[in-house]
Protein backbone atom coordinates (compact mmCIF):
# COMPACT_ATOMS: atom_id res chain seq x y z
CA UNK A 1 0.00 0.00 0.00
CA UNK A 2 1.44 3.37 -1.02
CA UNK A 3 0.38 6.67 0.37
CA UNK A 4 0.67 9.86 -1.59
CA UNK A 5 0.66 13.19 0.15
CA UNK A 6 -2.01 15.66 -0.86
CA UNK A 7 -0.24 18.70 -2.40
CA UNK A 8 -3.14 20.94 -1.34
CA UNK A 9 -2.61 20.05 2.31
CA UNK A 10 1.14 20.67 2.01
CA UNK A 11 0.58 24.07 0.35
CA UNK A 12 -1.96 25.06 3.02
CA UNK A 13 0.45 24.11 5.81
CA UNK A 14 3.22 26.09 4.10
CA UNK A 15 1.00 29.18 3.76
CA UNK A 16 -0.14 28.88 7.36
CA UNK A 17 3.45 28.78 8.60
CA UNK A 18 4.46 31.74 6.40
CA UNK A 19 1.41 33.75 7.48
CA UNK A 20 2.76 33.86 11.04
CA UNK A 21 5.66 35.96 9.74
CA UNK A 22 3.35 38.43 7.95
CA UNK A 23 2.50 41.62 9.81
CA UNK A 24 0.17 44.40 8.67
CA UNK A 25 -0.47 47.98 9.78
CA UNK A 26 -2.91 50.63 8.65
CA UNK A 27 -1.14 53.97 8.19
CA UNK A 28 -3.27 56.86 9.43
CA UNK A 29 -3.10 60.63 9.13
CA UNK A 30 -4.90 63.54 10.77
CA UNK A 31 -8.58 63.83 9.86
CA UNK A 32 -9.36 67.58 10.08
CA UNK A 33 -13.08 67.13 10.69
CA UNK A 34 -12.63 64.56 13.48
CA UNK A 35 -9.47 66.10 14.95
CA UNK A 36 -7.74 62.73 15.29
CA UNK A 37 -5.24 60.69 13.25
CA UNK A 38 -7.89 58.22 12.00
CA UNK A 39 -7.81 58.78 8.23
CA UNK A 40 -6.35 55.67 6.53
CA UNK A 41 -3.93 56.42 3.69
CA UNK A 42 -2.13 53.09 3.23
CA UNK A 43 -1.62 49.53 4.33
CA UNK A 44 1.92 48.46 5.19
CA UNK A 45 2.84 44.80 5.15
CA UNK A 46 6.06 43.12 6.25
CA UNK A 47 7.06 39.53 5.58
CA UNK A 48 9.53 38.79 8.34
CA UNK A 49 10.25 35.28 7.06
CA UNK A 50 12.66 36.93 4.59
CA UNK A 51 15.96 38.68 5.23
CA UNK A 52 15.71 41.58 4.76
CA UNK A 53 12.01 41.63 5.49
CA UNK A 54 9.82 41.85 2.41
CA UNK A 55 7.72 45.00 2.34
CA UNK A 56 4.57 45.99 0.52
CA UNK A 57 2.72 49.31 0.69
CA UNK A 58 -0.77 49.69 -0.73
CA UNK A 59 -1.86 53.33 -0.94
CA UNK A 60 -5.45 54.49 -0.74
CA UNK A 61 -6.23 56.12 -4.11
CA UNK A 62 -6.50 59.90 -4.39
CA UNK A 63 -4.93 60.83 -1.05
CA UNK A 64 -1.57 62.00 -2.38
CA UNK A 65 -1.11 65.15 -0.30
CA UNK A 66 -2.71 63.69 2.81
CA UNK A 67 -0.36 60.70 2.63
CA UNK A 68 2.81 62.83 2.28
CA UNK A 69 3.84 62.43 5.95
CA UNK A 70 3.92 58.66 5.48
CA UNK A 71 5.58 58.87 2.07
CA UNK A 72 8.37 60.88 3.75
CA UNK A 73 8.77 58.32 6.57
CA UNK A 74 8.83 55.27 4.33
CA UNK A 75 12.14 54.80 2.59
CA UNK A 76 13.24 52.00 0.30
CA UNK A 77 13.10 49.50 3.16
CA UNK A 78 11.13 49.22 6.36
CA UNK A 79 12.21 47.21 9.38
CA UNK A 80 10.51 46.07 12.56
CA UNK A 81 12.64 48.65 14.38
CA UNK A 82 11.15 51.40 12.19
CA UNK A 83 7.66 50.20 13.07
CA UNK A 84 8.46 50.13 16.80
CA UNK A 85 9.88 53.67 16.61
CA UNK A 86 6.81 54.95 14.74
CA UNK A 87 4.48 53.33 17.28
CA UNK A 88 6.43 54.89 20.14
CA UNK A 89 6.16 58.32 18.50
CA UNK A 90 2.65 57.94 17.09
CA UNK A 91 0.00 60.48 17.74
CA UNK A 92 -0.16 63.96 16.35
CA UNK A 93 -0.49 64.02 12.58
CA UNK A 94 0.43 60.35 11.96
CA UNK A 95 -0.37 57.07 13.59
CA UNK A 96 -0.38 53.40 12.66
CA UNK A 97 -2.52 50.55 13.86
CA UNK A 98 -1.72 46.86 13.58
CA UNK A 99 -4.34 44.75 11.85
CA UNK A 100 -4.87 41.03 11.49
CA UNK A 101 -3.81 39.08 8.43
CA UNK A 102 -7.08 38.34 6.61
CA UNK A 103 -8.14 34.73 6.37
CA UNK A 104 -7.42 33.28 2.95
CA UNK A 105 -4.49 35.58 2.15
CA UNK A 106 -2.11 33.85 -0.27
CA UNK A 107 0.95 35.97 0.56
CA UNK A 108 1.70 39.20 2.40
CA UNK A 109 0.99 41.28 -0.73
CA UNK A 110 -2.42 39.66 -1.10
CA UNK A 111 -3.04 40.22 2.62
CA UNK A 112 -2.33 43.96 2.22
CA UNK A 113 -4.62 44.08 -0.82
CA UNK A 114 -7.45 42.45 1.16
CA UNK A 115 -7.07 44.96 4.01
CA UNK A 116 -7.03 47.88 1.55
CA UNK A 117 -10.19 46.52 -0.11
CA UNK A 118 -11.91 46.42 3.28
CA UNK A 119 -10.84 50.00 4.03
CA UNK A 120 -12.16 51.17 0.66
CA UNK A 121 -15.45 49.30 1.01
CA UNK A 122 -16.31 49.81 4.68
CA UNK A 123 -14.11 52.18 6.67
CA UNK A 124 -13.42 55.14 4.38
CA UNK A 125 -17.05 55.57 3.25
CA UNK A 126 -18.09 55.75 6.93
CA UNK A 127 -15.75 58.68 7.66
CA UNK A 128 -17.12 62.21 7.36
CA UNK A 129 -15.71 64.41 4.56
CA UNK A 130 -12.25 65.78 5.38
CA UNK A 131 -13.42 69.37 5.10
CA UNK A 132 -9.96 70.40 3.89
CA UNK A 133 -11.12 71.85 0.61
pLDDT at position 115: 97
Residue 58's H or E segment, with its range, is strand 54-59
* Radius of gyration of the chain, Cα coordinates, nearest whole angstrom: 17
Alpha-carbon distance 103 to 81, whole Å? 26
In tens digits, the chain (133 residues) has pLDDT values of 444 545 444 444 454 555 678 899 999 999 999 999 999 999 999 887 777 668 899 999 988 888 998 988 887 778 888 888 888 887 778 899 999 999 999 988 999 999 999 999 999 999 998 875 4
Alpha-carbon distance 82 to 85, whole Å? 5
Alpha-carbon distance 100 to 19, whole Å? 10
pLDDT at position 10: 46
Global pTM value: 0.80
Q: For the chain, where are the alpha helices, taking DSSP H only?
A: 7-19, 68-73, 80-88, 108-118
Amino acid sequence: MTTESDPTIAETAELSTAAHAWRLWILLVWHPTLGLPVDPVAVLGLDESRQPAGRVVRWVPLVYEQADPWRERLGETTTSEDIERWIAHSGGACSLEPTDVPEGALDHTHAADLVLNELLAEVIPALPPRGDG
